[in-house]
Structure 1
């Protein structure tokens, strides 16, 4: 009887972890701001700075992720991330002074770094090579499901139990799921399980003799690599545009759709993110053509932004714009590691993905404030035009090697 391939168990475990990671570290901060500003009368500006600090802490820490995994192992680092996120949640929920949210943001930022994009890629990469696009797409879909499930769960818990109790319940659920999952599915790699990548019955044939492979490069050496810099710049610009629009999309839609309608439209964005990422994961080509897939993703998001810009109060057009924009949301998370897999030596891929995510997070941490300032000083239409321009720039830059 053939041994069952454990790689898909890892994908399932990574999916569950992504639900919590994005529900707490990506979609959660907007809820924290709204709840604390309304319930405790704290400054929205101060809370927004704390959220920026949350993402900056994550950006600084995620660059160290490959070293942490090598030293302590995937399971231990993932458990540490879950503990940090849970402790940070309690800080957000029970801190009785505004400045304490910066301590909470430090902890949730650490947890976000240790359980989000680069961490998910590190979980999947040892188990998949040819089928990595599909495996990553399935694991990263947990991020979108985190938005679909966790956002209404937060609202329900806060309405029924209060913010403090809601953070305690989510923290307990996170630890109850992440701690055993990390041990069960991340404790051993393919070699320890007697298996090979993609579930193959034997290792791939050895390549013909060639010059010895170069050792893994340092972060400084990668930062001087023109290919790495160009790829990072393209996705940093695209993610800045995406983060800015995602943060402000609900408030842009409320005048035409109402609060509930705007919430449903955001759910539509998330659903189409799942569709776009899944389809791309199963049909994604190899090599340089992955850059064309990324450029097409930015172009589809441009189309969505343009429809939103011209929709005025037309509900069908607004929903179409949300759907088109959503098709690209998931791909901007899953495509960078897949392009890195195709273009960088295997020894560099983990560090490339972690460093790229650190740069992207440091960049898009300022997007909500930047877009908000643009809306207040100029107009919402100006913010959408800037979004279009940035998406177009990213679509061109990603094709340049």
Structure 2
């Protein structure tokens, strides 16, 4: 067999670990998959989902027990574990849109349960845009009692969701910054519940709606804004900054602009299939060219890797050249661990380096929004 099963699951495993799935839980499930005698995509999917659901049942019961006994800290952690297991199920490539929707609803519900145990205020909201309502959370650094907060908007790309974006929000919350985590077009509840597909017009509408939402919000400081994006969201963060000269800082971690990317390296399952067709607008690639337009003068930090075979170093440097103000660049030279001989996915350099890169990114933003820069 040219492709080992673990190699095929590398992107799913990486994203699951990035969101916080326990590595021992993951290894146990991968061993169960290794033991499948006659492997097929359907069998692998069934084992993956069933095994994670067994862990969801365990952590959900532990959460309920801890909550009943008044152990809120433990209840919070078990609720988080259950949400992480749901996310691992959401990451698997499922063509059945109804099944994908069912899995995402489980993630939504488990995340809402987790939010109730958090000390800081995490508020669900919906942002009006010309393309439809964008579901989002506002993560406050505290109980939300203050009259004004600096604010960062976080972005990730297709296949993501606002629940996952907590990993971008958490380090900023610790630095006193409120964070908006939206479901961008084609992602999470924006596509599953509101049918907002991923395309240039829809994304532009989302940027405009988010800025209008901040301007009208009583507690968010519209003059003290940053954009923070990972993967495809790194490209979104750059374009969102182009659209608002008030933005003080922009951070793009391993940015991906689809029109800059090597189309031959992008896997087939991202280009066609029922789920992919459901996520993307009809003029997707052509419409996304709008994200390439414009420059900005906000302070800019970009992190990239030579082992990202979707965005070459030349493509990343092309984006860096469009930042005309103060800028910093980090070139990650670590070789990805979750790779095969055939390919190095974009998810690898993103996921494997985030654990240390996030602190540099958060400090960069905090220095600008908290008045230290």
TM-score by length of 1: 0.30
Identify, as 1 or 2, the structure richer in helix: 1
Considering Cα pairs closer than 8 Å and 6+ residues apart, tell me whether 1 or 2 has the greater RCO: 1
Structure showing greater Rg: 1
TM-score by length of 2: 0.31
Identify, as 1 or 2, the structure richer in strand: 2
